[in-house]
Amino acid sequence: MMRTWSMIGFGEAGATFAGAMYCAGRAFDRKTDDPAAREAMLETITKAGVEPCSDAKDALAGAQVVLSLVTASSALQAAIDDAPFLAPGALWIDMNSVAPETKCRAANVIEAAGGRYVDAAIMAPVQPAALSVPVLLSGTDAADAETALADFGFSSLRIVGGEVGRASTIKMLRSVMVKGIEALTAEMVLAARHAGVADEVLASLGEDWACKAEYNLERMTMHGQRRADEMEEVAKTLESLGVEPLMTHGTIIRQRELAR
C-alpha cells in the first residue's frame, strides 16, 4: 500500500531520507526567512524529488503520514503550529531528538487535533546509512508507523514499547555517551594541538583514534549547535530521572563552542 506523505523540516536528515524514499511526497521547512537560503533549500527539496510547499497547510493537506524532522528546539512548536492542518487519523512520526517529556507534550497536541502520534528515535548518523539507519519506535500506533516506514524503504525498524517517550528515552541516554565522547575528544585534541603533542596523544589511544578524532571534530563543527540543542533535551531527561547532568552540561558547552 502506497501512502501519501509529507515532511516538516528539510535539513540533512530530511534531504537524505527524501532522496532515497520509494515515492514522492511534499515538504515544508520554516527555518529560514533569508531569500537566498530559502531558494537553495527549495532547490534541494526539488532535487530530492519532493514537492516544495510554501506553508505547512499545503504540505500536510491530505497526507496520511507526516515525518517531523525539525530541530530539537522547535520540535514541540512544530507540532503546535501544524496540528490544525493534519488530515483525520494521519500519522505524525516525530523523529526529532528531544526528551520524552517533550514528545509526550507533542503527542497530546497531535492527538487532540485528530492525528496519531508515534515517537521515533534515529539511532545513528543518517549519512551514509540513509534508509538503513536504525530507527526505534514507540507509542500506541507504532506498528502502523513501522509498516508505513517500511513501505517507504526504511529497513532497520524496531518497536520498543507502546508508550510515547520510551524510544526517545533510549536515544537521550545513549547521547550522554555518544555526544559526550565527541566533546571529550574535542577538548583533548584542542589542548594536544596547542601543546604540539597531538600525534603522540592520539597514537597512544590506538591506531584508529586519529580518524575517530577527525570525524568527531568534523561532526561537531558542522552540527554542534544542533547537537547542543539535543543535549539540552538530554539534560532534561536526566533531571527527570533524578540524575544531575554534570557531564552533559559540559558537553553542551563544548558542542556549542565547536559550532562557533
The domain made up of 169-259 is a member of CATH 2.130.10.10: no
Each residue's pLDDT tens digit, 86-139? 999 999 999 999 999 999 999 999 999 999 999 999 999 999 999 999 999 999
pLDDT value at 1 more than 80: no
| pLDDT above 80 (res 85) | yes
Cis peptide before 128 (omega within 30 of 0): yes
Q: What radius of gyration do the chain's Cα atoms show?
A: 19
Is the pLDDT confidence value at 224 over 80? yes
Alpha-carbon separation of residue 259 from 6, 39, 136, 236 (angstroms): 30, 24, 28, 22
User: Cα(10)–Cα(16) distance, rounded to whole angstroms?
Assistant: 9
Average pLDDT of the chain, as a whole number: 92
Q: Rounded CA gap, 248 and 235, in Å? A: 6
CA distances from 200 to 42, 53, 106, 196 (A): 46, 52, 48, 9
pTM: 0.90
Q: Which residues pair with 118 in a beta bridge?
A: 93
> Taking 70 as the threshold, does the pLDDT of residue 239 lie above it?
yes
| Confidence at residue 139, expressed as pLDDT on a 0 to 100 scale | 98
Percent of the chain scoring above 70 in pLDDT: 95
Other C-beta atoms lying within 10 Å of the C-beta of residue 111: 17
Q: Where are the domains of the chain?
A: 5-164, 169-259
User: How much is the pLDDT for 46?
Assistant: 75
Whether 201 shows a pLDDT value over 70: the answer reads: yes
Supply the DSSP string of the chain, one letter for each residue.
-PPPEEEE--SHHHHHHHHHSSS--EEE--S---HHHHHHHHHHHHHTT-EE-SSHHHHHTT-SEEEE---GGGHHHHHHHHGGGPPTT-EEEE-----HHHHHHHHHHHHHTT-EEEEEEE-S-STTTGGGS-EEEESTTHHHHHHHHHHHT---EEEEESSTTHHHHHHHHHHHHHHHHHHHHHHHHHHHHHHT-HHHHHHHH-TTHHHHHHHHHHHHHHHHHHHHHHHHHHHHHHHHTT---HHHHHHHHHHHHHH-
**Could you tell me the three cell numbers for 210?**
586519529
Local confidence band at 179 (pLDDT 50, 70, 90 cut-offs): very high
What pLDDT was estimated at residue 132? 98
- Give the pLDDT score at 223: 85
Is the pLDDT assigned to residue 68 strictly greater than 70? yes
Per-residue pLDDT tens digits for 38-60: 677 677 777 777 888 889 999 99
Q: Which CATH code of 3.40.50.720, 3.30.110.60, 3.40.50.1820, 3.40.50.150 fits the domain covering 5-164? A: 3.40.50.720
Is 5-164's fold the same as 169-259's?
no
Report whether pLDDT(162) > 80.
yes
Q: Is 60 left (phi over 0), alpha (psi -120 to 50) or beta?
A: alpha
Question: What tens digit of pLDDT does each residue of 6-42 get?
Answer: 999 988 899 899 889 877 799 998 865 567 666 776 7
